[in-house]
Structure 1
Amino acid sequence: MKAIVYDAPGSFALADIPTPVPGEHDVLLRVIVAGVCGTDLHLHDGEFGPTYPLIPGHEIVGEIVELGSGVDARGLGLSVGDRVTFDNTAACGHCDECRRARPAFCRHLLAQGVNAPGGFAEFVVASADRCFVVNDLDPEVAVFAEPTACVVHGLDVLALTPGADVLLFGAGPTGLLLAQLLRASGAGRVTVAAPTAAKLDLASRQGADRVVQVARGADSTADLLARTGGVGYDVVIDATGAVPVLSHAIELTRTGGTVFVYGMTSETAELPILPYEVFRRELTMKGSFAQQFSFDRALAALRVGRIDTTDMITHRFGLEDYADALAAVADSRCIKAIIQPGGPAK
C-alpha cells in the first residue's frame, strides 16, 4: 500500500509498504478520509512525541475490509463493509494515571498517528473495540469525530457555568467546534475573535453571538475589554496556540473568571504571567489535552446537528499532495484540510 512515512522530523516520503494485517481483535480499514490538523504540523517538526518510522494521521474514517478472527466473538456488531471512525488512542488500563481514569496520560499510551501507524495511508489497522460505526454519516462529517471528541473533553474540564460570557480566540476548526458546543452547553454569550473575515463569517452562520476581527499581531485588548463595559469575560479561551494571544488573556478575564488554554503552543514556548493578578482576582487557569471518554458524545453531537460542519472542509488532497496539505493547514485561508487516499469518496 501507499503511505506517508516519516523517518525523522521534517523528513517524509510517499512510500510503498506492506499492507498491515489485523490481529485477532482488530479490523483492517480502507481509509476513506483522514483529517489534517495543527497537531500534524507539530509532529512534522518533531514535537508531540513522535516515534519513527511514523505514519501520521489521527482523524480517520474508513471502511472495514477485514475482521480479525476474534472480532465476532466480542459482540461488537462490526461487519465487513461498515464505515467506521475510531478512537486513535489506547491506554494500558493499569498504570497510575489509568487507575485515576485519566487514560490520555497513560504511561504506555498508544496513539495512532503519533507513536503508532496512522491514517495517512491507503489502509490502517484499528482495534475493533475502539471503532464506532458511522454508516449514517457522510465521511466528511464523520471525520470531525476526533476533534469534536477533544472539544467535548475540553468542556468537561472547563465545567462551564450556565450564562457565562465567553471570549474565544480562534476560528479554525477547533474554534468553530468550540463555539458551537459552548452555546449548546449554556454559555450566555460567545464572542469569537480572529483575524480572518471568512472564518468569522462562518462562525456567525454557525451561531456565534458576536464576532470581532482582530489584526494578527495587534493588541486588541482595549477594544475587547470595552465590549464588556470594562469588567472582562467570565471565560477567555485560546484556541490558537499563539503566545501573543495568551499573553493578554488574564487582563481580559473578569474577577473570579477562568483562562482556558486549549490551543497547542510550541513545546518550548513560555508565557509570562503576573501571579499577583491570579491571586488577587481569584482567577483559574485550566488546560485541556486530547480526548477522554468523549467519542460517543461527539458523534451524538454530529448526528443531531449540534455541530454543523457545512463549509468547514475547504481543501482536499491525495496522498501524493501531502506537502501541499501541510502548507494549506498553515495558511490562514484554510479552515479544514483532508487527505483522501483513494481519491474523492464516491
Structure 2
Amino acid sequence: MTATMTAVVYTALDAFEVRQVPVPAPGLGELLIRVEAAGLCHTDLDILAGRYAAELPRIPGHEFAGTVVDADPALRSRIGERVAIDPLIACEACRNCLRGHPNLCTRGQAYGAERDGGFAEYAVVRSDNAFSAGTLDPGVAALAEPFACAVNALDRANPSPEAKVVIVGAGPMGMILSIAARGRGIEDLTIADRVPERLERASRFGATETVRIAHGLTDSLPERAFDLVIDATGRPEVVQEAVRLLADAGTLIPFGVCPPGSELVLDTFEVYRRQLCIVGSFSLNRGILAALDILRQSVYPLDELITTRFPLEQGGDALAAVGGSDTVKIQFDPMTRIATQ
C-alpha cells in the first residue's frame, strides 16, 4: 500500500484542501525531505488568487527546511542531513542564466509553483537545491529563502558599510532586510513604519534608529538624506515618495511587491544630475548559502521572527493569518501531526 501524508493542496484558483496524498518518491538526483518547517508569504496568497503564475493543482510552499530521509541511491550519503531549500530551478542555458541571473530564467520552475513544495509532511527536491543547515533550528533554517531574497537586493545595491540606509516598512521582510543589512556591516540603519509595536520590534532586530510615520514619509524623514532607500511595503504611493529621500548618488530598491501596472514618476533630469539609481530585485539569486551564513552568525533573536506555527490541518487559519499586524513570519510545523500520532 502506498504511504500517504497530509498536505495543503491548491486545487484551483481560490480553492484549497487539506488532504491525504501519496508520499512522493525521489528520482534521479533527488532527495526526499521530511519537512520540519515551512514558511508562508504573500506569494502563496498570490498563487491562490491567480496573481502569480503557477500550475494547479499544486502543493504550495517555497520556504522550507527539513531532514533528508530517502534519496537517489547515488545520494544515500545525504540521508540524515538537515537542509534548507532553494526553491528555484533554472535551465542554466538561457541568456539570463548565462549572464548570472538564474532567478530570471526564461524556462525556470519553482517548488511551490510549477513543482510541489513544502506545505506537506514530505517533499521531493533536487539534491542541488538542498543546502546543509547544520544545527540551525528548522524554523530558523526555513528563513533562508526570504533571507536569500534580501541578500539579492543588497547584492544588487552593494552599499558600503558607511552608507546611510532606511527601510520603509517594519513587517516580515523589513525585519529580514534589517538583519541582512546589519550582517553586511551597515552601521547606520533607520526603519520607518506607522505601527509603534513594529518599530519597538525593529529596535531589537538591527535598527539603529526608528521613525514613526504619521502622515507622509517626508513629514517624518529628511529629504535627500539616505544613500540606500528600500521600500518593504509594496505600496506605489510610498515608493513614489521614497524617491525624495535619496541623497545624491543614492539608490532606491522597490523591494515590496507593488501591483502590476504601478507607475513611478521620475524627473529624469534629477536622475541624470544627481546620479540616482532605481534597482530592481526579484526573488533570490543563488543566495541560500549566504543567507545561512547570516542566520548562523546573527546576534539577533531569530526565533522571535517566527510568531505563529500551525499544523498542516489548520491550513486555512494559517493562510488567513498572513499579513496580520501582530505577526512576523508564520510557519507550518508538519511535525506536529507526526509527533502526536
Contact 2:213 2:220 in 1 (8 A): no
Are residue 10 (structure 1) and residue 14 (structure 2) matched? yes
Contact 1:177 1:307 in 2 (8 A): no
Contact 1:61 1:86 in 2 (8 A): yes
Provide the rounded CA distance (Å) in 1 between the counterparts of 2:59 and 2:266.
Answer: 38
Aligned amino acid, residue 184 of structure 2 = S
Provide the rounded CA distance (Å) in 1 between the counterparts of 2:301 and 2:251.
Answer: 27
1:145-189 residue CA offsets vs partner (Å, 9 max, x unmatched): 111111112111011133111111111221112112223323341
Match of 2:319, SS state, is helix
Residue identity over aligned pairs, in percent, reads 38
Aligned amino acid, residue 67 of structure 1 = A
Provide the rounded CA distance (Å) in 2 between the counterparts of 1:110 and 1:231.
Answer: 40
Corresponding position of 1:299: 292
Deviation at 1:44, TM superposition (A): 2.2
Q: Write the mapping of 1:200-239 to structure 2, written as runs, cut at 5 A.
A: 200-215=199-214, 218-225=215-222, 230-239=223-232
Provide the rounded CA distance (Å) in 2 between the counterparts of 1:45 and 1:192.
Answer: 31
1:105-142 residue CA offsets vs partner (Å, 9 max, x unmatched): 11211200122101111111011122122241111211
Deviation at 1:38, TM superposition (A): 2.0
Against the structure 1 CA distance between its residues 39 and 66, is the aligned structure 2 distance closer, same or farther, given a 3 Å change threshold? same
Corresponding position of 1:106: 105
Contact 2:183 2:294 in 1 (8 A): no
Corresponding position of 1:30: 34
Provide the rounded CA distance (Å) in 2 between the counterparts of 1:52 and 1:336.
Answer: 25
Corresponding position of 1:83: 82
Aligned amino acid, residue 303 of structure 1 = R
Deviation at 1:264, TM superposition (A): 1.2
Provide the rounded CA distance (Å) in 2 between the counterparts of 1:138 and 1:240.
Answer: 28
Corresponding position of 1:118: 117
- Tell me the C-alpha RMSD between the 2 structures: 1.9
Contact 2:12 2:57 in 1 (8 A): yes
Contact 1:20 1:125 in 2 (8 A): yes
Deviation at 1:202, TM superposition (A): 1.9
Match of 1:205, SS state, is coil
Corresponding position of 1:140: 139
Runs of 5+ unmatched residues, structure 2: none
Runs of 5+ unmatched residues, structure 1: none
Against the structure 1 CA distance between its residues 235 and 328, is the aligned structure 2 distance closer, same or farther, given a 3 Å change threshold? same
Against the structure 1 CA distance between its residues 299 and 287, is the aligned structure 2 distance closer, same or farther, given a 3 Å change threshold? same
User: Comparing 271-280 with 19-28, which one deviates more in the overlay?
Assistant: 271-280
Q: Write the mapping of 1:126-275 to structure 2, written as runs, cut at 5 A.
A: 126-215=125-214, 218-225=215-222, 230-275=223-268
Corresponding position of 2:25: 21
Match of 1:248, SS state, is helix
Provide the rounded CA distance (Å) in 2 between the counterparts of 1:320 and 1:87.
Answer: 25
TM-score by structure 2 length? Answer: 0.92
Contact 1:47 1:267 in 2 (8 A): no
Against the structure 1 CA distance between its residues 308 and 301, is the aligned structure 2 distance closer, same or farther, given a 3 Å change threshold? farther
Alignment length, in residue pairs? 335
Corresponding position of 2:45: 41
Contact 1:236 1:258 in 2 (8 A): yes
